[in-house]
Amino acid sequence: MNTLTIIVPCFNEADVLVDFISTVNLQTHELPLIKKYLLINDGSTDDTLDIMKNLSETFDNIFYLSFSRNFGKEAAILAGLEASDSDFVTIMDADLQDPPFLLSEMYKDMLEGQYDIVGCRRISRKGEPFIRSFLSRSFYWVINHLSHTEIPSGVRDFRLMTRQVVNEILRLTEVNRFSKGLLAWVGFKTKYLSYENIERKAGKTSWRFWQLISYSIDGIVNFSDAPLNFATLMGFISFIISMLLSAFYTFKTLIFGDPVQGFPTLITLLLLIGGIQLFSLGIIGKYIGKIFLETKHRPVYIIKEKHLD
């Protein structure tokens, strides 16, 4: 029988982890795959690691990795993919916002349609704050207009993948990772299942507002050079405007003898051009920062302890 590894990134999930395991077991008992859980402790500060150890001692199909500190969800996903060895692999959040009952349908669709990836996407964000939902939809609109890699709106990390897909993902060795984009970039025959938003089972999300903004910016930078083109365009436009204004004021003075009313105009132009320059330098600096991090060749994560056997 084929095997399935369920990768579960965890950061302070002590309140829900046991419930997650029991719920997945209950809702996937008809799934014709041998399940293996791979729990990734991403530097949790609560009892998550202790619960992982207890679960691994109780069940022979539960294993864990524990990082030396918090490296982020992208690092946890990569660690899970690298440690997995099953025929099929899926990524699930421990908060049960990824509905386990869909796994059976995902596997069925994969076999019947000969898909390489079957993912899930939320068609609503009921229960989320309005501003968060609005910014999320805006992000997908922006990135799909700037990038050549299409990322469907509402797509989750929760997806079922074949071994071949996982192997190709692991060939992408960049440090600055954006898994939603990487999984779309590798291609393969893909299908998405839609479902209504499910609120978190317990605890609080570890994602803060500014973390989500930073993550969104990283996603755009990682999959598009359009911001660099925009910075170039802004510089060109400001140059044209300055040339036109120079010509306008020169002719105005020569023809009408009207001296330039300097102070307000000068201050406005200085602020405009200075703002454009700083904005453009910020865009360029973001890309240079990414290059700087890549050239260091630091590991994406460090494992302090593990149980994989």
Within 10 Å of residue 25's Cβ, how many Cβ atoms? Answer: 14
| Interval 266-278: pLDDT, tens | 666 676 777 777 7
With a pLDDT cut of 90, the percent of the chain lying above it is 2
- What mean pLDDT do residues 3-25 have? 87
Stated length of the chain = 309
- Predicted pLDDT at 39: 92
Asked if 175 contacts 293 with a C-beta cutoff of 8 angstroms, the reply is: yes
CA angle, residues 202, 205, 209, in degrees to nearest 5: 155
* Top-confidence residue, 217 or 38: 38
Query: Which residue, chain included where needed, has tokens 């309140």?
Result: 15
